[in-house]
Structures are given as structure tokens and as C-alpha cells.
Amino acid sequence: MIRMNVNYILPFLLLLVSFSSCSRKYKIEGNSSVTSLDGKMLFLKTLQNGQWVTIDSSEVVHGLFSMKGPVDSVMMVTLYMDDEGIMPLILEDGRIEIIISNSQLSAKGTLLNNALYEFIEKRNAMEVEMGELERKEARMVLDGANLEDVHEQLAKEEETLAKEMNDYVKDFIIENYENVLGPGVFMMMCSTLPYPIMTPQIEDIMRTAPLIFKENAFVKDFLSKAKQNMQLLEEHKRLQQSSETTAMQH
């Protein structure tokens, strides 16, 4: 029987791990049909300790741009032109194809970017459907439908669509708790709020969230600020009720 020397094999395996980690690289190939981008510099930036840090950059020449480099760890980044964020993407091992046009923004070619933009496209389609309700209302009224009946019907449709969209976002975050998509989409969702606050949707997300998600720097910071704001709102509500009670007694 042939016996393998473990003391020989182990360093060899470690060497393989070392080489494989060094060989992980991203390659971005971008194509833009937006003429105003020609000659502009694009930057890849990531949020670190509350600051946007530049990772890479490229000039757009005749609608084309490219970037490449090593991937130490998978991260969510934002493509910027000057100080304007254009689109999110995942910096990961592989070839990432970016398309920028007046009607489309997409980053595809790698596993997480494909998942991210499938999510974004479906959510955008839901938003378009929500926007269609106003036009639907105008058509129904022009067709002679009763205004109150129209409002009642469309209010129900809007509520159903809003719940469907909220559930879709929530489920996507839950499915991706343990990779960068979960915290990244959570960050995108929270950025639409006027200020950090605990909503029923966020409470649902946090109810089953694992420690790795809760310990994410952005998630942790958001939750801390949201809880402070909730306490302030409760205090304001309590003072208002106390003031109203005093006024009624007088």
C-alpha cells in the first residue's frame, strides 16, 4: 500500500489555496451609448467607515471603458461619475459586463451580479406597474366609471402591489442574509427612507436575521440610529399626549 506523507501534502495544499486566492480577479468591460459620458472618468467606490473610497477608475472612450484588478473579498460597490452614483454592482471574481444606456443599466456575467440585476429588473417592473395605476384611473373615469368605485378598486390594487413589492424585497434580503447581496439591498432599501426608522418590513427582516447580517457595519449603524429615532418619536408622542391631556383638564 502506498502511504502519503501528510507533512508533505499539507504545505502543498496551502500553496494551492494561496495561488487560487491570488488568481481571483475582476474584469469589467463596459459599454455606454450615453454620449454625455464620453471622455468622462468613471470610478468604482465602496463605503468604508462612512466614507466613499475609490477602488478603481477608467475613462470612457468612444463609449467603452474597462477596469481590472485582484479580488481580495467580494464586495458591493457603486459606479460613480464625479460625485454622482450611477449604479451598484458586485466586485467579484470573473468578467463583469456593464451596459449603460438611457433605458438600461445592467451589470451581468457573474453569479451575484446576475442575481442583483434580476432583482432590480423585477422590482423596477413592479414600480412601473404601480405607476400605471394613475393612467388606469384616468381611463376608467373617461369610460364613465363612478369616481368613488374607481378610487376604491385602485386603492385595493395599489395595496396588493405594494405588499407584493415589499415581500419580494424582504424575501430577497432574507435569501441573501449571508452574502453581500443581503446587506447591500438592505442598504439600498433603507436609503429611500427619509431617516433611519424601524418599519414593519425592517422588523420582519431582522426577526430571523443571523448574527453575520446584524454585525454588518451598515446594518449595525442603521439599526442603532433607527432605535434612537424610535425612542425620540415615542418621547415626542408621550409629551404631545401629556400636553393634550393637560389642555383638556383646563
| Span 127-181, pLDDT tens digits | 999 888 888 877 887 877 777 877 888 889 889 999 999 999 999 999 999 999 9
| Span 16-35, pLDDT tens digits | 444 444 578 999 999 999 99
Per-residue DSSP letter, 109: S
Tell me if 230 sits within 8 A of 236, measured CB to CB.
no
Kindly list the distances between the CA atom of residue 213 and the CA atoms of 38, 70, 175, 192, in Å, as whole numbers in the listed order: 39, 25, 11, 20
Q: Write out the CATH class of domain 25-109.
A: mainly beta
Q: Which residues of 39-67 are buried (b: 16+ CB within 10 A; e: fewer)?
A: eeebbbbebeeeeeeeebebebeeeebeb
Question: What is the structure's pLDDT at 143?
Answer: 77
Domain boundaries, given as residue ranges, for the chain: 25-109, 110-175, 180-250
pTM exceeds 0.75: yes
